[in-house]
Amino acid sequence: MVDTATHDQLVAEMTGGLAPSEADLPPFAGSDPTEPSGEPSSARLGVPVTFSTSPRFYFRQLLSGRDFATNDPIAAQMVNFVYAIGDRQSGEAVLVDPAYDVEGLLGVLAADDMRCAGVLATHYHPDHVGGAMMGMQLEGVAELLEQVDVPIHIQAPEAEFVRTVTGLTDAALVQHQSGDVVSVGAVDIELICTPGHTPGSQCFLVDGRLVAGDTLFLDGCGRMDLPGSDPAQMYESLTQKLAKVPDDAVLYPGHRYSLESSATMGVTRERNVVFRPKTRQQWLAAFGG
């Protein structure tokens, strides 16, 4: 079970010295709706991947405190990324980890003539799905459901945690297994369960992109000392579950903890310290606490 006391621990996840200040960050163009891929290659590390050329594909990377929740200092400090993925022709999009500012996020979709058709939740932490944190109540999926009647897609092992943090019941949740596909119009999104940061963390593979939540950042990975964390599972997730993701796929993380907002998996596998150990034993010795 998750109790509210654990939420104070979560704060350190986003303020543990990994996140540069906004003043250090370069200008960001990823929120430009005229850029179908969501982000120009100049803000990305690595060889540009060949994304879908279909004008139907809709993808946006939105930074908390800048692209939404613009008057929320906590959202700005946390540097969460929310993603919108959809099909321009059908006008449907899913939001990945909508938190802080539900109205603002729905407004982004509306301005693009898109409507919210569902939520993909990477994991249960309140900065991703809403809930109590630092003595405050963050908006999230519960508030979103007051505006739109849509399914919340999670991995089954995360259900108990999501219910506790958001107050939602099972009726609001669609519990998945790894490998399931969620379709948004003609866009298919594969769900990959990647436990380690939490028991049912999941990543999303779509159109040569990996939307990774707090499983994998450009530098480092999600913390493994929080309720439900498991370093051994994280090792398996990074080296086995994500092994199928090709080097030219682009990693889109759950937080902007690096100067760049995305990088190819090839560059990430070369540069990120979590891919440096050669064996499970080495990995656990380095990162398992």
Site residues for Fe ion per CB under 5 A:
125, 214
CB of 201 to Fe ion, least distance (A): 8
CB of 160 to Fe ion, least distance (A): 16
Nearest to 222 by CA among 134, 122, 141: 122
CB of 107 to Fe ion, least distance (A): 25
| Shorter beta-carbon distance to Fe ion: residue 129 or 191 | 129
Q: Which amino acid is at 113?
A: D
| Shorter beta-carbon distance to Fe ion: residue 125 or 209 | 125
CB of 259 to Fe ion, least distance (A): 21
Say if residues 275 and 238 touch (Cβ distance below 8 Å).
Answer: yes
| Shorter beta-carbon distance to Fe ion: residue 37 or 215 | 215
Q: Which residues contact 69 (CB under 8 A, 6 or more apart)?
A: 75, 76, 100, 101, 104
SS (H, E, C) 144-159: HHHHCCCCEEEEHHHH
| Shorter beta-carbon distance to Fe ion: residue 125 or 176 | 125
DSSP 221-272: B--SSSTT--HHHHHHIIIIITTTS-TTSEEE-SB--SSSSEEEHHHHHHH-
| Shorter beta-carbon distance to Fe ion: residue 58 or 217 | 217
CB of 54 to Fe ion, least distance (A): 32
Residue burial 255-276, b: 16+ Cβ < 10 Å; e: rest: bbbbebbbbbbbbbbeebebbe
